[in-house]
Amino acid sequence: MLILLKNKHTLKVDEFYFNCSIGKRGTSKKKIEGDYKTPVGTFSIEHLYYRKDRITKPQTKLKCIPIQKNMGWCNDINHPKKYNKLVSIDKKISQEKLFRKDHKYDLLIPIKYNFKKKAIGKGSCIFLHLTKDYLPTEGCITLSEKDFLILLKLINRNSKIKIN
């Protein structure tokens, strides 16, 4: 199943169209850390991470991982071995905390951008996650909770996301 970013406000999966938001500065083929752009390309997706204290485990074919208080995603260019990976919260490194007070990461799927052959500084923490207001992101793609739950029923671990 292909998840297709049609434009900066529309995500298409099968015959379903969803409102979405993307990076504040649009898309880019030359993504760099902190540029507020969503990377262009076709990427695999990771597992579903979810807040089991807020949301019942969703119906999906993806592997579901409950988010713990100590979970983060490394965006620190000074730690190449941990860069763009799930990490335990560590005050010595910069990371995106997954267990948040707001509800943005109650449902979260990492997009496998810059995963295998990591280029340090070329961008990290590119997620599909929740929004309530569709404001532009730092590079992620956001959906409403209702739409995210529908998306989860449509996709599987072999699904890819295509960002134009």
Task: Report domain extents, the chain.
Answer: 2-163
Residue 11 near residue 141, CB atoms below 8 Å = yes
Please give the model's pTM, rounded to 2 decimal places.
Answer: 0.96
> Residue 156 class from Cβ within 10 Å (0-12 exposed, 13-18 middle, 19+ buried)?
exposed
Closest alpha carbon to 49 in 127, 113, 116, 119:
127
Quote the distance between the C-alpha of residue 27 and its chain's center.
15
CA nearest neighbour of 111 among 53, 43, 14 = 43
Topology of domain 2-163, per CATH? L,D-transpeptidase catalytic domain-like (2.40.440)
Q: Tell me the CA end-to-end span of the chain in Å, nearest whole number.
A: 17
pLDDT tens sequence across 112-154 = 999 989 999 999 999 999 999 999 999 999 999 999 999 999 9
Phi and psi for 161 in degrees, rounded to 5? -115, 130
Q: Which residues of the chain register pLDDT less than 70?
A: none
pLDDT score, position 37: 98
